[in-house]
Structure 1
Amino acid sequence: MNSMYFTEEHELFRQSLKEFLQKEVVPHVDKWEKSGTIERFIWEKVGEMGYFGIAYPEEYGGLDLDLFYTVIFLEELQKVNSGGFAAAMWAHAYLAMTHVNKEGNASIKEKYLTPSIAGEMIGCLAITEPFGGSDVAGMRTTAVKDGDNYIINGSKTFITNGVYSDYLVVAAKTSPELGAKGMSIFIMDRETPGISATKLDKLGWKASDTGEIAFDNVKVPAANLMGEENKGFGYIMQHFALERLIMGINAHARAEFALEYTLEYMSQREAFGKTIDKFQALRHKVAEMASQIEMNKEFNYSVTKRLNDGDYVVKEASMSKLLGTKMADEVIYECLQLLGGYGYMEEYPLARLLRDSRLGPIGGGTSEILKEIIAKIVIDKKEYKAAT
């Protein structure tokens, strides 16, 4: 136990979560990976256990716990060996629900946040567009005021939970002439006329439904605007710090899982009369990987502490995702190599881990975009400030 960050209560929570995931999730993972659909019963069970409510107010059914409980939730999700299942869970709990909690009014929270915490409703966050990618400010989806409604037209892509979710948190331009300063956030029900979704076939994250979503003259009540009109870009940027830290934590956790599995394999696999964990070349490779994981993990814990204390950690969260996802890809690649031919076989976990991990440097802001953000902070002395 890392007593600098985790208490005995944290560790009891981790043990309970581990047992829950092994009993309720792991037996179904291969089926969900093949079908590309996570059955609804598990959402409700996760909700019943309180895991979706870790970071949310008690008045809506949450537990209002510190961010290190979230760290534990993320780390243990990576160890069921389904990046898709993990992504579906945290995209609901920390992408869609974060906006509902932070920008939604009391009525919206009662309608969407309470059942989201209970696992009775699933949410998705729809920001990325087919022609925009990581260029959030360049989005083309529009929301035009029409009396007591907004009419929304446009499209989104690469949206986790984009097909099977019950509601969507959507970014659109309410004042396109203002560029990034003319963006707003809306919430809408899946069955709203004019919304259609197409499921995308991916390299990895097979269990999760990633969708391309079209909005064709979708009429949304003005009451479904979240926060203030034209303030959406600031809200999105503010929450990106958490999303990028989440992806950095995911990265160190899946790398750690890969190495743990590989060490167990190496302790049993014999070659030339001894187990392969006795060969110096391989031992030194393990030493390098363990060092990289530990350094990333310690950095992520310190950034989590600062974020939990209210600091605006956009630089550090960007660094976490940039270096963590690169590290995870490299570690998992090397771990697969240490399994030899077995690493390439689907019945062993490394093949899926390698595919799932590759999304890390792409999703939630590509590594190239993150480098430019960090360069602006370090070289140009640009200051990113929390939305007011």
Structure 2
Amino acid sequence: MNTLIELYDERAIENILAPDMFRPRRIVYLCPGEIAQDRTRQETLAAFFRRRGWEPELIFVETSLFKADRILRQLFTIGETYPDCAIDITGGSDAALFAAGMFAAKKGVPAFTYSRKKNRFYDISGATFADELPCGLAYSIEDFFLMAGGTLLPGRVDNQILSQYLSDFDPFFDCFLQFRRDWPNIISYIQRISPSEYGQTPPLSVVGGYTVKGERGSRNTANEEALRELARIGFIQDLEIVPGQQVSFRFRDLNTRAWLRDVGSALELYAYKACVDSAIFHDVISSAVVRWDEVLGHGSVSNEIDVMAARGVIPLFLSCKACDIKTEALNELAILRDRFGGKGAKAAIVTTEVCNAAARHRAAQLGIAVIDLEELKTGQIVHRLKVIMKAE
């Protein structure tokens, strides 16, 4: 097979997987008019293949989404031009799939498909090279964004250093669970007594009042027990408390300083470590920021995924909420999963509250798994991740 015919699909991975697996000399995409004329989208595909280490010839043929007879005529023409072709019938519209079946039957062109459930390619007709062939490809998180026309940007977390802190994340999360109800006030207090100048390296040493201004004119008093627990687990050092007057301590380093000033960090880092501990993912990122398009400045659209992981050709999108699950959060997560992961992608929302029936029902409708407080308390998150990814 020197030529592979692909039925263009709105899910990016459907246009990538078979070509990347079989590496033909050329790929002919039967696609709608907007794709046939979109040079940027075409270059995105070409750039992705170059990133993967090969440069096939890409041909884009405009076709109808609904006229099977027209598609069939175009397939006949392609088959005459490239008699060494095979056709992938994994993606595409119903009309395109119908025409592809007719084409394979009438012309004897090899046809195959890919099963997400089995992660194998299967011979449909005359494609013995694809018969029950396991898909051994593995894509990085950045790959998933790039293939869909997105760009992975730096997030709030330096992922290069997280491996040095893995042993800290469980104690940090245990501390969070112990003081869960007062956690926003605890973090707010730390923020108040540890200000920094923009553009300058913030100081690690902190001296502040025992009681500081809170939200909306309220007063926020130091939680002595929580501060002592943070000192016990090594996130802060040299803690001195003068009740009613003053608190002083030193952050262990700039990273722990950042995490103690962010109310969601304890859960996000715990979820990140759970992905690592599961040992089923080859790539895990905390705070994955994706830009949707190639427009810079005010016209660009970006989103943050709290934790993202990849297992082979299947990505997992994790949203972490230190609050009740809102419908808006579920909808946003589903959109990101579908846009950048495709049909086989997985999504889960992790909450430090008990998930109510309405939110759980809406999550189920969207195909989103829920990991809530009860499962976090009993240490089930790693097991749940394996179940979600069908690795257990």
Report the TM-score when normalising by structure 1.
0.27
Please tell me whether Structure 1 or Structure 2 has the larger radius of gyration of its CA atoms.
2
Return the structure number with greater relative CO, CA threshold 8 A, min gap 6.
1
Report the TM-score when normalising by structure 2.
0.27
Higher helix share: 1
